Chains A and B, each alone.
Chain A
Amino acid sequence: MAIPMDLQVNGQAVHLEVEPETLLVDALRNALQLTGTHVGCDTSQCGACTVHVDGKSVKSCTMLAVQAAGTAITTIEGLGSPGALHPMQAAFRQHHALQCGFCTPGMIMSAVDLLARNPNPSEAEVRAGLEGNICRCTGYHNIVAAVLDCAKVMNSAPSREKAHG
């Protein structure tokens, strides 16, 4: 039986009717057509489905949509736009921190949460902080470089909006 629920997605109030077993990622991708959030492994290993729930990174394949009732969700679509990239998106582009790009939305959402908690991480802290995200192409080197550079950019521009999702 469908359950009515209200939540915020990327700053917009949204009303959904979901089955109890609907996963958050499926509600985002199917009901709301926010297909930037990817399903990789569907077993909570790979982190491609990472979104922010009330500002915290969560694997949306391992959360029921109904559990998100009353929360504020940010997906990769809500982080920046093609004309105004989030500093993390800009850093990923500048450092070529991707190859096929499939893991990138989740990787960026995790990286943004990481810097929100630890604005000036060491390389080791970046690697540890991204343990929940798997990339099968890059070997992580450029991803780590992008996150470290983004931290520098965001720290050196305190007046700039520090989007945290």
Chain B
Amino acid sequence: MHTFVYQRATSLADAVAVLKAKPDARPLAGGMTLLPTMKLGLAAPSDLIDLSAIGDLRGIRRNGDRVVIGAMTRHAEVAASAEVRAAIPALASLADGIGDAQVRNRGTLGGSVANSDPAADYPAAVLGLDANVLTDRRTIAADQFFLGMFATALDAGELIRAVEFRVPKRAGYAKFPNPASRYAMVGVLVADYGGSVRVAVTGAGACAFRVPTLEAALGKQFSAAAIEGIEVSASELNTDLHGSAEYRAHLVGVMARRAVAAALG
């Protein structure tokens, strides 16, 4: 691995200031993507700004119709949180299915969301649970956040502070994991807000996206049968060695029905 300057930021403002002063510096959250990328020589930041000592970035709290989760909260903490399990059990279950136990003990919500890996689980939750991404300088609605493969609305040096998820009436998440990596071949989060339903897909396209046809049908009748037979277009979906775009389009329907069944639990 290329060497770099390591710094532990003591506050969000401190981290933002260093990132502004040093264009080749990178923030270090859980490191579950960044460190392997650096080991492979695919990233060589001049500085790593470790965010782990910033206490304000940790923690989970309920705020009205929202569950607010700090950016540096680990996946295992979200999975085990009594607050999350009570308000949005689908979110706890999604977090409990990310990677493996060791990854869940290190990986963070903010790191995953900022990375916008096309096959990561959290983007489906952010988009499906109508979340707001709170940064050091503004609030970004989920619908405006994910722009493409590893691309988000975050500016250079902009850091996520927390994500606030809107508590649904009920929600479910189902994923078809790649058997080796456990990344989502396709993952679908379905959230019922009482008449209006959000369906967010990860793993299938360049980044997480919603499926209006499924949302409309589920808005009328929230059941797996209501979306039986609705075809999802394969035209913009991923083809790779794990599966074709057509296969992924088919999986979106299957996972959506399973997510609805999970929501109806």
Binding site for B on A (CB under 8 A): 3, 19-21, 23, 42-44, 47, 50, 53, 56-59, 62-64, 66-67, 110, 113-114, 117, 129-133
Residues B182 and A131 in contact, CB atoms below 8 Å apart: yes
Residues A58 and B100 in contact, CB atoms below 8 Å apart: no
Q: How far is the CB of A111 from chain B (nearest CB, A)?
A: 10
Of B1-9, B85-93, B230-238, the segment with at least 4 beta carbons within 8 Å of chain A is B1-9
Bound-complex Cα distance A44 to B52 (A): 20
Residues B100 and A131 in contact, CB atoms below 8 Å apart: yes
Q: How far is the CB of B216 from chain A (nearest CB, A)?
A: 35
Binding site for A on B (CB under 8 A): 1-6, 28, 31-32, 35-36, 39, 48, 50, 52, 76, 80, 99-103, 105-106, 182
Bound-complex Cα distance A21 to B45 (A): 11
Residues A58 and B5 in contact, CB atoms below 8 Å apart: no
Contact partner, B106, options A3, A62, A113, Cβ 8 Å: A62
Known: A44-B32, A67-B50. A20 touches B3 (CB 8 A): yes
> What are some 24 contacts across the A-B interface (CB < 8 A)?
A20-B4, A20-B5, A20-B6, A21-B3, A21-B4, A44-B35, A47-B100, A53-B105, A56-B105, A57-B102, A59-B103, A62-B106, A64-B6, A66-B50, A67-B31, A67-B52, A110-B102, A113-B101, A131-B101, A132-B99, A132-B100, A132-B101, A132-B102, A133-B100
Bound-complex Cα distance A67 to B6 (A): 9
Bound-complex Cα distance A71 to B39 (A): 23
Q: How far is the CB of A154 from chain B (nearest CB, A)?
A: 18
Residues A20 and B48 in contact, CB atoms below 8 Å apart: yes
Residues A43 and B6 in contact, CB atoms below 8 Å apart: no
Residues A21 and B101 in contact, CB atoms below 8 Å apart: no
